[in-house]
Amino acid sequence: MSTDAPRHSRPCTRAQSGFTLMEMLVTLVLISFATMLMFQMLGSYRIASERVRGQAGNIDRNALFQSWFRDSVHGLYAAPKHHFVGDPAHFSATTLNPLYAPEGSPTPIQWSLRENEAGVAEIVYAEEGREQWHLPLQRGGEVEFAYFDAQWRETDAWPPKLGVVNPEAIPAFVGLMRRFEAGDRPLLVAVLGPLEPPKRLYGEEELE
């Protein structure tokens, strides 16, 4: 006779896991919101980055323009038949410091001012009669060239309309004058070389 007690089977329960429909909707809304914020931040970063790069580029180009302007004016060359001619809108001359031709070679150059299609003044550099470079001048104001003799007398044209000046002479200083309501901001550059071409000797002096 068997003494084993009867075994009763018990139902086995297992916890059900997973998201309800409401939890899924909330999760999707949160993910969408986070994605939207991420794209907005990326867009703002891109715009800010482009503005910084643009401003840095303008600063670099302005610094480069000022350096090139100084170099070309420092090297202005006075020689027969190489006349300096200037007015408020442009000047043409011969320099020993051209931007593209070999340094030290007398090269005809021209700096000029004009308005671009947006109505913004820009400065233009030409070499050997060919435009090489231009830069918009920001912040408005009136812009013009001015010329100074060795006694710091200013004139808006060269050779000066008044006074006796050797037509083959060049100014002692060339200025890019920017005039604002708050005051003028001139960029003055001195000519380093002789202001007049060397004089040739004739007759007995030349024979010596």
State pLDDT tens for residues 139-160: 777 899 999 999 999 999 999 9
Give the Cα separation of 109 and 189 in Å (integer).
16
The HSE-up count of residue 29 (CA atoms within 13 Å, CB side) is 6
Residue 117 within a domain:
yes
Under 8 Å CB-to-CB from 71, ≥6 apart: which residues? 97, 99
**Structural domain containing residue 99:** 61-190
Residue 170 within a domain:
yes
Which pLDDT does position 56 carry in this prediction?
46
Residue 84 within a domain:
yes
Which residue ranges of the chain lie beneath pLDDT 50? 14, 48, 51-52, 54-56, 203-208
What pTM, to 2 d.p., does this model score?
A: 0.67
| Number of domains present in the structure of the chain | 1
Give the Cα separation of 127 and 101 in Å (integer).
8
Residue tagged 């180009």 (tokens): 61
Which pLDDT does position 46 carry in this prediction?
58
Residue 51 within a domain:
no
Residue 39 within a domain:
no
pLDDT tens digit string along 77-90?
888 778 899 999 99
Residue 15 within a domain:
no
Residue 69 within a domain:
yes
Q: How far is CA 147 from CA 25, 46, 156, 175, 199, in A?
A: 75, 45, 6, 6, 24
By residue count, the chain amounts to 208
